[in-house]
């Protein structure tokens, strides 16, 4: 006799009832059977696998927390979960865009006044500001944005309105130049 149990299946009504009564077995079933589809929706919206995985966790938290709001008269459970997935993914994108907007506002207007961007004074006691002053303006700005203001290369490209490849090249050249300058000190 085999130890294998036949896999459980639920009707939509049983899934709804189990979800509303906080049945963890039903929730696990929902996750196992619907997470690939919901992940696909999130991935299509955010276009980044890591962000989509995070969004998927948030999606299932929202499903769990708002199960009592599901109304079968308004549509199928799967459609309701798809809407939660889509809205959560969109919220994730908006949140990331909002964070980028905040960084842009902290840095001033989109033209970024090159002379006003300087390395934070907290590193002056190390003498790094004198070394950084030897870089050209474009390299100083990129180093400042990346290392002292916490921007990603993609964010820098958007802030400066230059291609990502240009940001990467300038950053690489700046790091090589800094390495050479620090060897002389």
Is 66 strand, coil or helix? coil
Say if residues 43 and 49 touch (Cβ distance below 8 Å).
yes
Q: In degrees, to the nearest 5, what angle opens at C-alpha 126 toward C-alphas 168 and 116?
A: 55
Q: Is the pTM of this model over 0.95?
A: no
pLDDT at residue number 102: 62
Pick the last residue of a domain from 57, 72, 105. 105
134 and 51 co-located in one domain: no
Domain annotation covers residue 172: yes
52 and 116 co-located in one domain: no
What is the per-residue pLDDT across 54-105, written as a single tens digit (0 to 9) for each?
A: 999 999 999 999 999 998 888 899 989 999 999 999 888 778 765 666 666 6
Say if residues 107 and 149 touch (Cβ distance below 8 Å).
yes
Domain harbouring 55, CATH code: 1.10.1740.10
Residue 14 CA to residue 10 CA, distance in Å, equals: 6
Domain annotation covers residue 164: yes
Number of domains the chain is built from: 2
142 and 89 co-located in one domain: no
Say if residues 26 and 19 touch (Cβ distance below 8 Å).
yes
Pick the last residue of a domain from 81, 105, 129. 105
| Structural domain boundaries enclosing 31 | 12-105
Q: Could you please report the per-residue DSSP string of 86-140?
A: HHHHHHHHHHHHHHHHHHHHHT-STT--GGG----GGGGGGTHHHHHTTS-HHHH
Domain annotation covers residue 65: yes
Domain annotation covers residue 99: yes
16 and 101 co-located in one domain: yes
95 and 19 co-located in one domain: yes
The residue ranking higher by pLDDT, 36 or 143, is 36
The residue ranking higher by pLDDT, 98 or 143, is 143
Residue 62 CA to residue 126 CA, distance in Å, equals: 48
C-alpha dist (Å) from residue 44 to 2, 35, 77, 91: 41, 14, 21, 14
98 and 115 co-located in one domain: no
Pick the last residue of a domain from 88, 105, 122. 105
93 and 112 co-located in one domain: no
Q: 136: left (phi > 0), else alpha (psi -120 to 50), else beta? A: beta
150-153 own/partner pairs: CB under 8 Å, 24+ apart: 150/103, 151/103
């Amino acid at each position: 006799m085999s130890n294998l149990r036949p896999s459980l299946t639920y009707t939509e009504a049983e899934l709804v009832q189990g979800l509303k009564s906080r049945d963890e077995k039903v929730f696990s079933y929902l996750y196992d059977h619907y997470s690939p589809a919901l992940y696909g929706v999130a991935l299509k919206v955010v276009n980044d696998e890591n962000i989509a995985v995070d969004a998927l966790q948030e999606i299932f938290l929202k499903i769990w927390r708002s199960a009592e709001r599901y109304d079968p008269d308004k549509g199928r459970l799967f459609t309701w979960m798809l809407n939660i997935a889509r809205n959560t993914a969109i919220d994730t994108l908006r949140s990331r865009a909002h964070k980028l907007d905040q960084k842009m506002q902290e840095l001033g207007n989109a033209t970024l006044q090159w002379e006003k961007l300087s390395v934070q004074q907290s590193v002056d006691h190390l003498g790094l500001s004198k070394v950084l002053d030897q870089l050209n303006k474009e390299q100083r700005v990129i180093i400042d944005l990346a290392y002292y203001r916490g921007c990603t290369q993609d964010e820098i490209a958007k802030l400066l309105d230059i291609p990502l490849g240009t940001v990467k090249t300038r950053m690489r050249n700046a790091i090589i130049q800094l390495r050479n300058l620090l060897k002389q000190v």
